[in-house]
Amino acid sequence: MKTKKYYLYLRGSIWYCRFIDPVTGTSLTARSTGKSSRQEAEEVVISWLYGGIPKKHNKEEKQALEVHAVIETFKKMLINNRIPSDELSRILSLASYMYGFSCSVHPCNNQKESERPQQLSHTESPDVKKNATVNSHQSPSFVDYTLTFWDWKCSPYIAALREEGVQEKLLPGKTRFQKIRYMLQKRLFPYFKETPLSAVTAKDINKFLLSLLGSLKVSSLKKMSEWLQQTVKFAYKEGLLDTDISFQIHPPKGECEIKPILTIEQSVQLFSTTAHFKNKMHYCINKLALETACRIGEVAALKISDILFTDDETQASVRITKNYHFSTHTLKDTKNKSHKDVPISPQLTALLKEFIDTHPQKDNRDAFLFYNSTKADRPVGYDSIRKEFIRVMKTLGFYVSHLSIHSYRHLAAVILWDKGFLEREIMMVTGHKSLWVLRHYCNHETQARKEKKREMSRAIAQAITSETLIA
């Protein structure tokens, strides 16, 4: 019988691991995995089992050790001639761009003194040195520049935002940058290799995106095209590209995957009683997500003060100004930096009034509306919302693959579209800035649309009958 090598347990919202001594069978000191998801915690523990448990260092020590290890490895590889000259050229080119000094690769050791690069005089300003590097020979490669752009710690884009005075809490999320960089890193180099940034065209990027069609969904390629648009647009602003090619970049044409949504009949059944949900809070979260067409982060970000009741408290509207990032536990602007007030139904108004009256922090108007029962400074967690949503959908027999709480946002757009509201009117509720995106949200086959098609088909058939022609 195999003995267990470790035990996982929750402490607060973080998973901790206790390894079992293989000799004595006793539990060792617990170590934090730093993860709130059990699956991610398991992955961390397995990496420790095979790679060893890392030593504890404070942040400064850890960074210093990492830098020292990289420098020592780089030195050894240089001494043993293990770095090809073309790779070294790319490294120095990137360093030239990032640090603003001139450098080049001279593989021959027996060069004459006159052939070696001239040292810059001390009187030259940093601006002159930096401008000297912006040419076709010393331009960083497209791959290096793109991966640096999406490396949050050393991104020139993040640095520019800081220079503009953007507060740290309002900067783009580290996790998002990390995911984007990982997505691009696996795919860019095999295609572009060492192509200089200055030589890349929109046609090259579009061909690259087309080459991924099949291995990635059209929706994923659309996101990737937006990332690359942002990258080259910034490079143009920095003077690293002669022309702005961002508007010429587009994803390959194809059918985008349509997110499943509930039918009107299912929605009516779902919200017919609060008993379908484990408590009134989860009922209100789901109903609010549908009635306001909000993203779930915007619903989680709501404070008690964001529910604006009328004097008689029979009507209310919801003020949406922030988005809660579940990964970093921070409040930021909404995705499109837009604010909106959305009226809600009298039924939901009454439920929210009852819910707020029982809120543990009801006297604190700045408290999160949908509170976390264990952490007063956070709203209810995303995992809790998602799991309850899936449980209810499965219980009612509504669940299909890829149905999520974000489907409410699609459903709200579809309902408004089918009711005949204009696109610009719908965008006032959904907050979309792009008609293309709104149309994608509204592109669902509903019962009303099936009826409309049948009606049109009958109209065509009646128009070409013999009786009609004779008349």
| Distance in angstroms (rounded) separating the CA atoms of residues 43 and 37 | 10
pLDDT digits (tens, 9 = 90+) for 333-382: 888 888 899 999 999 999 999 999 999 999 999 999 999 989 888 999 99
pTM of the model: 0.56
What separation in angstroms does the CA of 131 have from each of 100, 273, 441?
8, 67, 45
| Distance in angstroms (rounded) separating the CA atoms of residues 90 and 197 | 12
Q: What is the pLDDT of residue 93?
A: 67
Q: State which H helix or E strand residue 32 sits in.
A: strand 31-32
One digit per residue, pLDDT tens: the chain, 471 residues? 556 788 888 888 888 998 888 778 888 888 888 888 888 888 888 878 766 776 665 666 666 666 766 776 777 677 667 777 767 777 776 666 666 555 544 444 444 444 444 444 444 444 333 333 444 446 788 999 999 999 998 899 999 999 888 888 788 888 889 889 988 988 888 888 888 999 999 999 999 998 888 788 888 888 899 999 999 999 999 889 989 999 999 888 765 567 789 999 999 999 999 999 999 999 999 999 999 999 999 999 999 999 999 999 899 999 999 999 888 888 888 888 888 999 999 999 999 999 999 999 999 999 999 999 898 889 999 999 999 999 999 999 999 988 999 999 999 999 999 998 998 999 988 988 888 788 888 888 888 888 888 889 888 888 887 555 444
Q: What is the pLDDT of residue 461?
A: 87
3-state secondary structure 71-109: HHHHHHHHHCCCCCHHHHHHHHHHHHHHHCCCCCCCCCC
Strands of 138-234, DSSP E: none
214: alpha, beta or left, given left = phi > 0 and alpha = psi -120 to 50?
A: left
Q: Could you tell me the two tokens for 27?
A: 């539990």
Q: Could you tell me the two tokens for 137?
A: 């020979």
Burial of 85 from C-beta contacts in 10 A (0-12 / 13-18 / 19+): exposed
Burial of 224 from C-beta contacts in 10 A (0-12 / 13-18 / 19+): buried
Q: Could you tell me the two tokens for 425?
A: 């009117």
CB-side exposure of 349: number of CA atoms within 13 Å? Answer: 16
pLDDT digits (tens, 9 = 90+) for 317-328: 999 999 998 888
Please tell me whether residue 404 adopts helix, strand or coil conformation. coil
CB 172 within 8 A of CB 158: yes
CB 440 within 8 A of CB 256: yes
Nearest to 56 by CA among 48, 164, 326: 48
| Distance in angstroms (rounded) separating the CA atoms of residues 185 and 143 | 8
Q: What is the pLDDT of residue 468?
A: 52
Q: What is the pLDDT of residue 467?
A: 54
Is the C-alpha dihedral spanning 362, 368, 372, 376 positive or negative? negative
* pLDDT, averaged across the chain: 82
Please tell me whether residue 331 adopts helix, strand or coil conformation. strand
CB 376 within 8 A of CB 368: no
Q: Could you tell me the two tokens for 90?
A: 């790319």
Instruction: Compute the 3-state secondary structure of the chain and give helix, strand, coil in percent, each to the nearest 5.
Output: 50, 10, 40
Is the C-alpha dihedral spanning 399, 403, 406, 409 positive or negative? negative
CB 317 within 8 A of CB 428: no
| Distance in angstroms (rounded) separating the CA atoms of residues 430 and 432 | 6
Percent of the chain surpassing pLDDT 90: 38
Q: What is the pLDDT of residue 271?
A: 95
Please tell me whether residue 161 adopts helix, strand or coil conformation. helix
Q: What is the CA radius of gyration of the chain?
A: 29
Q: What is the pLDDT of residue 58?
A: 60
Question: What is the residue whose two structure tokens read 């390894």?
Answer: 19
